[in-house]
Amino acid sequence: MWSPMPGWGVCCTSASPDCRWPGTARTGSRRSSRPRAGIALALDSGANLQARLTVLADGGRSGLKERLGIASDARPYDQVALIASVETSRPHQGVAWERFTREGPIALLPLRGQTMELVWTHAAGEERRHLALAEGDFLAELQAAFGDRAGRFRRVGSRHAYPLSLVTARETTRPGLAVLGNAAHALHPVAGQGFNLALRGVMDLVASLEAGLAAGWPVGDAGVLEAFDARRDADRRNVIRFSDGLVRLFGIDSRLLGHARAAGLIGLNLAGPLRRDLARRAMGLER
Ligand X SMILES: Cc1cc2nc3c(=O)[nH]c(=O)nc-3n(C[C@H](O)[C@H](O)[C@H](O)COP(=O)(O)OP(=O)(O)OC[C@H]3O[C@@H](n4cnc5c(N)ncnc54)[C@H](O)[C@@H]3O)c2cc1C
Binding site for ligand X (CB under 6 A): 8-9, 11, 13-15, 21, 24-25, 57-59, 62, 64, 83, 109, 119, 181-183, 189, 192-196, 198
Residue 238 CB neighbours (<10 A): 15
Beta bridge partner(s), residue 115: 87
State the Cα–Cα distance between residues 8 and 285, nearest whole angstrom.
Answer: 13
Cα distances (angstroms) measured from residue 273 to each of 57, 99, 117: 35, 21, 28
Residue 266 CB neighbours (<10 A): 13
Between residues 15 and 270, which has the closer beta carbon with respect to ligand X?
15
202, 203, 206, 207 alpha-carbon torsion, rounded to 10°: -150
Between residues 167 and 198, which has the closer beta carbon with respect to ligand X?
198
Between residues 185 and 221, which has the closer beta carbon with respect to ligand X?
185
Quote the least distance from Cβ 183 to ligand X, whole Å.
Answer: 6
Quote the least distance from Cβ 21 to ligand X, whole Å.
Answer: 5
Quote the least distance from Cβ 187 to ligand X, whole Å.
Answer: 7
3-state secondary structure (DSSP) of residue 50: strand
Quote the least distance from Cβ 259 to ligand X, whole Å.
Answer: 28
Between residues 33 and 50, which has the closer beta carbon with respect to ligand X?
50
Quote the least distance from Cβ 120 to ligand X, whole Å.
Answer: 10
State the Cα–Cα distance between residues 64 and 60, nearest whole angstrom.
Answer: 8
Between residues 42 and 133, which has the closer beta carbon with respect to ligand X?
42
